[in-house]
Structure formats: structure tokens, C-alpha cells
Amino acid sequence: MRPGDRIRSLQGPILVLGASGFVGANLARTLLEHRADVVATTSRTPAWRLEDLPARNVREFDALVALNVDRMLDEVQPRTVFNCIAYGAYSFETDGELILRTNLMSTHALLERLATRNIAAYIHAGSSSEYGENAAGPEEHDFLAVNSEYAVSKAACAHLIHYYGKQHGLPSANLRLYSVYGPLEDPSRLMPKIVQHGVRGELPPLVDPHIARDFVYSDDVVDAFVAAASELREDDYEISHVGMEGRGAWLDDALEQIKAIWQGGEVGPTTAGQPGLVIGGYVDASLERAVDKADGWIAGGMPPEAFGETAKKLEASWAEAGREGAPRKMALAYFALGDDPEGDANGYLTDYYAFLGEETAKFIADSAAKDAGTVRQYIGAFEAAGCDELILFPSSGDPAQVDLLADAVAG
């Protein structure tokens, strides 16, 4: 997907907090190149990095005042929030109390409010400073050996984001940025200094050659923020610090809104009738939603015998509810054909389902159809169990799997 397409795919309106800073300004400007529903905030005006942006897209905003946070969220009603607010990253920002208030307390006030709203993505500008003394090639989950008030504040934010993701279901990610450079950078930073001295034909003062820094260009950081916001998905929740609590109630509400939109005919193409809707899941609540709100049910990764038993429960509930006709019943199964079916199935499925544990992931990989006879056997078994449509997923990205599957089905 091209960068512009990815930006346009984000759910809006979009709120960029701390847009008068270096990273925030680059992010806000890039977003505004592709869409108009972006609000960029600055703690004071004039803000030189935002001076030529449309006035309607820039708001003065003091994040340290709770009433301001409420007002901003009420006015903008954001679905995607990028938080680039920070104090203490520069050597001249030394007020310890202000570091904690700006970085930690304002983030807490914000997350507390976002957790009660309909937010699609919250992306936070973290810092490599969170690793502190443990800075020599750390892994993402390594111990945070903080060594400054700034590091303490940013590390604490990471824990807050984890908490609100896991316990409150806020779709969120904390991106730990290393040394970012690029347009709109503060003139006191290394790269602008090198350019300034170079223009004068001078060498800049440099530090000990044994001191190393990892630099990342601002455009790449913007791409990372946009990608994180656009690609948060269910199986990324643990990595992105998002919990699943409350998703059932949210889904019920979303289904009602989806059906209302389809019935209203105000969104999407005009069609003869509404699109079909099927509900996936294993628990009774999933079957209840299929009966109450949908046209049928789809089973994910369920063997034919279990599918048949669940399908009977669905049909009984369907009739009991007085629904006309029969529910649409769908299922999926995995396959791997070709030269190394065992390797393809194990390589893909044990990795994808690793979060379920090694034993369960291996069971799923072992259940994949790995020859033409097993493919036909699966199709026949699901058909006998009452399945209306079986979706066969390949365990390899090789396009040849499509032709191999067609040959297997044809027999």
C-alpha cells in the first residue's frame, strides 16, 4: 500500500498532539498532504513549525489542564490520536517537575479519557531513553534501566499504555524512537550543526568516537506512526498493548450501526438489498449474535465433526427465534500442497498461532491438509456436516498453491 493510501485509510478525525515539536510537525504536515480532517495542537503560538498550515487545522492547547483535554476531545471527536507531546528531550529542558507533569501526568489524563471513547488507534511517541543504562542493542521487552527523570517519565508512560491497553481495551502502541533527524529539526541538534559548519567550511565539535547513536530519518518515523495506526489488529493486541476486554459489547453496538448504515443507503454503493453478514466465533454469544443480527455463522479452524454439532445448535436457535429460511453456514480449513507441505504448514501456522502455546499451534499445523486426497476428504466431510461454503487457506505465499488446490479439488 502506498503511503498516501495508508494515510487515507486511517479512521478520522485525526488528532496530533504536540504538533509544534519536531516529530509532531513532520507527522501533521504529512497527514495534511493527504486529508483535511487533521487537527494539530501546539502549546503556544506562534509555532514556527506550523506557521504556514491552515488555521482551521491548528489549535492552541495546554495538555496540563484537564478541562482543556475534555474540551479538545469533545470538539474534535478523534478516532485516531497521535501523541507527540514531550518535554526533557533537549539538554536545556531540565525542570524535573515539568518533565513529569508534561510527559506522565498529561498522558495519564489523556488515556483515562480516551478509554471511555470510541478510539480506533492511539499511537504514542516513546523514546529509546526508556532503556536508560541498558542501551546497548536492547530487545523491546528488556529491563528499562532508567537513568534520568526524562527516562522515568517516558518509561512510566509505556507502562500506562500497557495498562490501558490490557485492562481497558484501548487500541494503542508505544513507539520508542531513537535519534530522529530531518526537516524542522531544532538548530541545536547534531545534523543541523553539521550542515551549519559545513556551509562555513568548518568541522563541527564532535564527541568521543566510541559513543554511538542510532539515527532514523523523520520520514521513516512518520511512516512507522501511520503503519502502526493502520495495522493494529486483533492478533497484534498483545504486542501493541491492547486488551480484549469489552469487545463483545463493542461488537454488538458496531453491528447495530453497520445494519443501520446499510438500511439508510447513505454510505457505499447502491445495491439490490443489503450485503450478507455472517458472525464468527465458538462461544454461545457468537451463535446468539448470528441469530439476532446476521444471516449466518462461520467457524474458524474447527474440525468437521465439531462444526456439525455447532451447526445443529445454530439451526435450533434460528428456528426458535422465528427466523425464516436457514442460516448460512461457513467454515475454513488450512492446506499446504507442493514440494514441502509439512515445512510450509509448520513454518506458517506454528508461528501465527504461537500465542496459543506450542502444543495447540502444532496441533493446528498438523491438521492442515497436505495432499490432494486429504483436501477432498475435508471438502466431503464439511459438506456432509451441513457446511454451505468452505474457505481453504494456503499455508504458503506461493501463488502456485491456487493451481495445486484446483487440481486437488478436481481429482
| Per-residue model confidence as pLDDT tens digits over 300-317 | 777 888 899 999 999 999
Distance from C-alpha of 226 to C-alpha of 219, rounded to nearest angstrom: 11
Using omega within 30 degrees of 0 as the cis cutoff, is the peptide bond preceding 138 cis? Answer: no
181 closest CA partner among 217, 145, 223: 217
Residue 217 sits at φ, ψ, to 5 deg, of -75, 145
**Looking at residues 254-264, what average pLDDT do you find?**
77
Q: How confident is the model at residue 241 (pLDDT cuts 50, 70, 90)?
A: very low
Give the per-residue pLDDT at 216: 83
Residue 170 forms part of a structural domain? yes
Q: What is the mean pLDDT of the chain?
A: 85
What percentage of the chain exceeds 70 in pLDDT? 89
Task: Supply the CATH number for residue 21's domain.
Answer: 3.40.50.720
82 shares its domain with 231:
yes
331 in the same domain as 231? no
Non-local (6+) Cβ contacts of 65 within 8 A are none
Cβ–Cβ under 8 Å, residues 50 and 42: yes
The answer to whether 164 and 115 are in contact (CB under 8 A) is: yes
Last residue in a domain, options 183, 208, 236: 236
Q: How many residues does the chain have?
A: 411
- Residues 160, 298 share a domain: no
Selection from 375, 407, 380 nearest residue 392 by Cα: 375
157 domain-assigned: yes
**Residue 394 and residue 336 in contact, taking contact as beta carbons nearer than 8 Å:** yes
DSSP bridge pairs for 126? 176
Inside any domain, residue 337: yes
pLDDT, residue 31, reads 95
The better pLDDT of the pair 152, 190 is held by: 152
Q: Give the pLDDT confidence of 3-16 residue by residue, as tens digits.
A: 677 888 888 899 99
Q: CB-based contacts of 275: which residues, under 8 Å, 6+ apart? A: 262
Q: Which of 179, 206, 236 is the last residue of a domain?
A: 236
Query: pLDDT-based confidence at 193, cuts 50/70/90?
Result: confident
pTM for this model (two decimals): 0.57
Grid cell listed for 265: 443507503
Would you say residue 235 has pLDDT above 70? no
Across 94-245, where does the E strand assignment appear? 121-127, 172-177, 179-181, 215-217
- Chosen domain end from 236, 258, 292: 236
Q: How far apart are CA 383 and CA 408, in angstroms?
A: 16
- Claim to verify: residue 182 and residue 73 sit in the same structural domain: yes
173 plus 312 within the same structural domain: no
* Statement to judge: residues 164 and 294 lie in one domain: no
Distance (Å, whole) CA 125 – CA 153: 12
Do both 45 and 165 map to the same domain?
yes
User: Is the Cβ–Cβ distance between 22 and 45 less than 8 Å?
Assistant: no
Residue pair 255/284 in contact by the 8 Å Cβ criterion: no
| Residue 92: band (very low, low, confident or very high) from pLDDT cuts 50, 70, 90 | confident
Cell 503503519, residue?
Answer: 227
User: Is residue 258 in a domain?
Assistant: no
220 shares a domain with 300: no
What gap in Å lies between CA 336 and CA 362, rounded to an integer? 14
Q: Quick: pLDDT tens for 339-392.
A: 999 999 999 998 887 766 678 788 889 999 999 999 999 999 999 999 999 999
Quick one: 10 and 128 in the same domain? yes
| Stretch among 72-86, 108-122, 202-216, 318-332 having the lowest mean pLDDT | 202-216
Closest residue by Cα to residue 179 from 22, 15, 348, 397? 22
Domain with 195, as residue range(s), is 3-236
**Residue 178, in any domain of the structure:** yes
> What is the structure's pLDDT at 268?
60
Residue 326 lies in a domain: yes
Quickly state the pLDDT bin for 242 (edges 50, 70, 90). very low
Of 126, 118, 127, nearest to 170 by C-alpha is 118
Euclidean distance between the first and final Cα of the chain, in Å? 37
State whether 300 and 364 are in the same domain: yes
In this predicted structure, the answer to whether residue 112 has a pLDDT above a threshold of 90 is: yes
Q: What is the pLDDT of residue 3?
A: 63
Copy the grid coordinates of residue 364. 493446528
In a domain, 391, yes or no: yes
3-state secondary structure 168-181: HCCCEEEEEECEEE
pLDDT at 81: 95
**What whole-number distance in Å separates Cα of residue 341 and Cα of residue 395?**
8
On whether both 202 and 336 belong to a single domain, the answer is: no
Q: How far apart are CA 119 and CA 14, in angstroms?
A: 10
Q: Please tell me the predicted confidence (pLDDT) of residue 250.
A: 63
**DSSP letter (8 states) at residue 55:** G
Q: What is the pLDDT of residue 306?
A: 86
Structural domain count, the chain: 2
CB atoms within 10 A of CB 175: 16
Please, are residues 16 and 39 in contact by the beta-carbon 8 Å criterion? Answer: yes
In angstroms, the CA 291 to CA 329 distance is 12
pLDDT band, residue 265 (cuts 50/70/90):
low
Residues 6+ apart with CB under 8 A from 223: 3
Rounded (10°) angle between helices 106-114 and 66-76: 40
Tell whether 232 and 305 lie within a shared domain: no
Looking at the domain assignment, is residue 270 inside a domain? Answer: no
Q: How confident is the model at residue 239 (pLDDT cuts 50, 70, 90)?
A: very low
CATH classification of the domain holding 298: 3.20.20.30
